[in-house]
Structure 1
Amino acid sequence: MMQWIKKTGPATLIAAAFIGPGTVTLCSTAGVEFGLELLWVLVLAMLATIVLQEMAARLGIITGKGIASLVTTELQSKGLQRFLVVLILVAIVIGNAAYEAGNISGAIVGLEVLFGVQKLQLGTSLLNVWSVVVGGLVVLVLWVGNYKILERILMVAVGIMSVAFILTAIVIRPSITALLSGIALPSLPDGALWTLVGLIGTTIVPYNLFLHASLVSEKWKGASFLKAARWDTVIAISLGGIVSMAIVIAASAVESSGVETVMDLAESLRPVFGDFATYLLAIGLVAAGVTSAITAPLAAAYVVNGCLGWNAGLQSRKFRWVWLVIVLLGVVFSTIGFEPILIIRFAQIANGILLPVIVAVLLWMVNQRQLLGEHRNSRWQNFMGGLILLTSVFLGVKSIVSVLGLW
């Protein structure tokens, strides 16, 4: 086990990134409202994530660059290059700043259950102490700038929550027939469309493609590491997908017509942990919130670094300034109780456009002989990538028209 942990790579951070408070809440809501009927969505989303993240990792290892850097150096059309750079910067940087507030807020919910509400009066305003604590912890971890430390912290934190939900999913002993049917037979219950879109959106995350390519380009150099990167991706993303499915299974046992608050989800853990379930979920939310709060600003920093051609490292001043601004915005939004609805809506529109665009650019890059040579995409990989592209276009249009209130 220790040997496997020592060999783990960047995909660990990717898996930790998509198991955030939003994933916990959405998967639990899916389980409570629709039982096991949407498990097939998570299976397909997990497979699509593996395909895309493997492409991003392969691109990073062979070229030694991140996706953002390649956009600015490989695209011949200056107009298209500028459009993509602006779109990427807006969607990732502004979007991650908005989502950072949600990540920190999720961790705050857990801390308030464990230690109570802590407010500090500052003039006419109330300061949420836990928001500052979480933000400070994120800054400390990122400031150290040690990749191995980041990996270990995220593995331990997410592991706490993951084991709890997996054990619960096993102990409640769901119907094998219903389980297999939910996994293998696609169905769409009434009112489940947006839950379906949400489950895919919390698994296939645009900024994770940028983050993965950048991290592997720093960790592994040369084609000899491709096998290690593939196994790392398959294992880490599969475990992340299993945890998401376990949350749905555990939540399906909750006798409720809906989930009113995040902590209502503790009911799904009671079959195993009894009265301790509330505290265990609180610990899980803190872990999920902190891990996502670390990866979101880190990804934003890598994107800005590549788009602006800085070639800065984890400990460089420019790199630190980017993620520090993202974290500070998240702390401010969460501590004053401000819900940045307009920013989040704008981020959703930008990401709705960004995902299919980035998938298309990624597919183009991994088919270029001058970039990858013999390691470019196979026909099977292109077929899978094409299906994912079409799906991302459909989901992108859906999310945009939903935010704009047109559908």
Structure 2
Amino acid sequence: MTESKKKHRESSFETIGENSKSLSEVNGTIKVPEKGFWRTLMAYTGPGILIAVGYMDPGNWITSIAGGAQFKYQLLSIVLISSLIAMLLQAMAAKLGIVTGKDLAQMIREHTSKRVGFMLWVITELAIMATDIAEIIGSAIAIELLFHVPLIVGIVITAADVLILLLLMQLGFRKIETIVAALVFVIVGVFAYEVLLAQPKFAEIMAGYIPHRDILTNKSMLYLSLGIVGATVMPHDLFLGSSISQTREIDRTDEEKIARSIKFTTIDSNIQLTIAFVVNSLLLILGAALFYGTNSDLGKFVDLFNALKDPKIVGAIASPLLSILFAVALLSSGQSSTITGTLSGQIIMEGFIELKMPMWAQRLLTRLLSVIPVLGFAIYYHGNEAKIENLLTFSQVFLSIALPFAVIPLVMYTSDKKIMGRFANATWSKVCAWTAAIVLVALNGYLIVQTIGLV
């Protein structure tokens, strides 16, 4: 490309220094071809799957399955709406990283005072811990169910998986993407198989994707809908998306190449979030097909595990195999989510407070911050799964509190032409994004109020 075709940009569009790069050890390390749609798409495929696992983590499972068990297929429309909001916000997060060369945490630090930045870092760090708590609990319970080891041992084993991430980072970022993709494939395969065995009615499923007014008039249905929406968009995923979108080689002196990178990154993100949408739909469909009308208590992972092998609840298809497959999928979900959660912890710590320490120590610190409360609860309650799973409720409250502090800055920065130039959000996307942000903040606020018993 000639110099006349290159557009050198101002301020935030300048090439970022080596020391300030987000995830500097993998930033810009993956080459992309100059031509060819499919070859280019394959080169950009990967970051989206790391994002998508946050939308199908163990924290979402109970809500989705409970939604199907209580209201059959009517809440599938909420799963669809949540997924569309996620696609919009994650595309903005990726665009922010590609255009500015900085992740969302770095942008917030640069555009706020030190005091405000520190406060936001604390809130976001709590959100990372809350997210990781759900993954650790899910993985540890899955290990206990599969291998009959004490829950406390399962938690310790889960804590050690950060060492796997350290190894993978040495082998290259593509290895991480491949491992997570394989784990997601296991999750999709397990639930697709179990849904096929349940033989749900296709026409009723399709009708469920059409919003019904009962969602607004039925208080119980509304509350569960809020839970699905509020737990779907994860604040840490927005930070993660703004960082790992930069793992592909980007020439920020050429706006056409930037536009091309945004295009393929968005395609990858939407494809992978569609897979997350399918998984969440399968969870709800499974809950509806197997448990609707059974009056079963499905509030815990162990309850679901036991229900799948109980003929009195799920009928003739009940078998230990279904329970084992459920536990395998739960372990896969927990492990894939903990990998991305640990990466998010590093991005947030570096971006907000510019903490400089060895990568192994940084990842170990972020994992220990999450493991300690879970391990403490496990010891205090003598490994009682029901008590430990109650932590999931509190973790969702932290996520609800942190969400506005990620969504609002993201929409503000990506709508600002001084920051984004020609890549600033179009009018239609600004309207959609601000509407989604307001709705998410309102719904999460309502969930917090209900959780602490004020209404």
TM value normalised by structure 2: 0.78
The aligned residue for residue 32 of structure 1 is 69
Query: Residues 187-198 of structure 1: matches in 2 within 5 Å?
Result: 187-188=214-215, 189-198=218-227
Q: Kindly indicate whether residue 102 of structure 2 is the aligned counterpart of residue 73 of structure 1.
A: no
Q: 1:82 aligned to 115, 121, 145, which one?
A: 115
Contact 2:97 2:242 in 1 (8 A): yes
The aligned residue for residue 153 of structure 2 is 129
Change (3 A) 1:142 1:42: farther
The aligned residue for residue 200 of structure 2 is 174
Structure 1, residues 363-405: CA drift from partner, whole Å, max 9, x if none? 1101222321111101111111021012022113212322332
Q: 2:86 aligned to 49, 59, 62, which one?
A: 49
The aligned residue for residue 294 of structure 1 is 339
The aligned residue for residue 275 of structure 2 is 239
Contact 2:104 2:239 in 1 (8 A): yes
Distance 2:280 2:392 in 1: 23
The aligned residue for residue 144 of structure 2 is 112
Larger radius of gyration: 2
Amino acid at match of 2:436: I
Q: 2:404 aligned to 356, 360, 370, which one?
A: 356
The aligned residue for residue 391 of structure 1 is 439
Q: 1:316 aligned to 351, 359, 367, which one?
A: 359
Taking only the aligned residue pairs, the percentage that are identical comes to 23
1:233 Cα deviation (Å)?
0.8
Amino acid at match of 2:350: N
Once the two structures are overlaid, the 10-residue window that deviates more, 190-199 or 369-378, is 190-199
1:350 Cα deviation (Å)?
4.9
Structure 1, residues 179-221: CA drift from partner, whole Å, max 9, x if none? 2221013332451223212211221111110011011123342
The aligned residue for residue 351 of structure 2 is 306
Distance 2:126 2:138 in 1: 19
Contact 1:95 1:343 in 2 (8 A): no
Distance 1:98 1:71 in 2: 21
How many residue pairs match? The answer is 391
Change (3 A) 1:170 1:160: same
The aligned residue for residue 282 of structure 1 is 327
Distance 1:131 1:44 in 2: 34
Task: Please report the RMSD computed on the Cα atoms of aligned residues, expressed in angstroms.
Answer: 2.9
Distance 1:371 1:171 in 2: 52
Contact 1:91 1:351 in 2 (8 A): no
Structure 1, residues 300-334: CA drift from partner, whole Å, max 9, x if none? 2211110113588xx63563354243354266346
Contact 1:253 1:268 in 2 (8 A): no
Contact 2:230 2:400 in 1 (8 A): no
Change (3 A) 1:272 1:373: farther
Contact 1:138 1:290 in 2 (8 A): no
The aligned residue for residue 95 of structure 1 is 127
Contact 1:252 1:268 in 2 (8 A): no
The aligned residue for residue 209 of structure 1 is 238
Change (3 A) 1:89 1:333: farther
The aligned residue for residue 165 of structure 1 is 191
The aligned residue for residue 295 of structure 2 is 257
Query: Which runs of 5 or more residues in structure 2 are unaligned?
Result: 1-37, 253-257, 382-386
Change (3 A) 1:181 1:311: farther
Distance 2:398 2:375 in 1: 22
Change (3 A) 1:115 1:351: closer
Contact 2:162 2:364 in 1 (8 A): no
Change (3 A) 1:137 1:236: same
Change (3 A) 1:47 1:95: same
Contact 1:20 1:292 in 2 (8 A): yes
TM value normalised by structure 1: 0.86
1:337 Cα deviation (Å)?
5.4
Distance 2:156 2:360 in 1: 22
1:344 Cα deviation (Å)?
7.2
- For the residue of structure 1 that corresponds to 2:247, the secondary structure is helix
Distance 2:284 2:396 in 1: 24
